[in-house]
Amino acid sequence: MQNASLSVGDPIEARCTKCRKNNEHVILIIEEEAPIKVQCGICSRQHKFRLPIAEKKPAVRRVVSHRDAERKEWEGLRATNDEHKATDYCMTSAYKVKAQINHPSFGLGFVQRVAGAQKVEVLFETGKKMMRCK
Ligand SMILES: [Zn+2]
């Protein structure tokens, strides 16, 4: 923080409780070199200084990186397995963990776990999916 250089009237990015976003504010009161009260440049509301908080994008990014992680896991499995051993997916077949299947839409998949009666979790290139089985 470069609070030492702040003074009343300076613009500062802050969280506005009314606009519910990070806006440019003007500093109204400074105490001990920290902004205490600010005025929103958008709605003119005067309120306590709040640090700008991250927008909700990180949640989306986390989903993407989760998908990336699954993709990497899939690529690792494909590299260490002989994909010619994969059998065509059929919901009337029984599958074991680590079995390889060929799905008409999702392609090559690896059975990750048995997820209950007649369900297995399969890792495809596009991510994990629950598949029916015997
Ligand atoms: Zn505002």
How far away, in angstroms, is 19 Cα from ligand 1 center? 4
- Burial code of 7-34, b = ≥16 C-beta within 10 A, e = fewer? eeeeebebbbeeeeebbebbbeebeeee
| pLDDT tens readout for residues 36-70 | 999 999 999 999 999 998 766 656 666 667 888 99
How far away, in angstroms, is 47 Cα from ligand 1 center? 9
Q: Can you tell me the distance from the alpha carbon of 62 to that of 129, in angstroms, rounded to the nearest whole number?
A: 19
| pTM for the predicted model, two decimal places | 0.53
How far away, in angstroms, is 27 Cα from ligand 1 center? 13
Give the pLDDT score at 60.
60
| pLDDT tens readout for residues 80-106 | 998 889 999 999 999 999 999 999 999
Q: Rounded mean pLDDT of the chain?
A: 89
What topology does CATH give the domain 3-48? SH3 type barrels. (2.30.30)
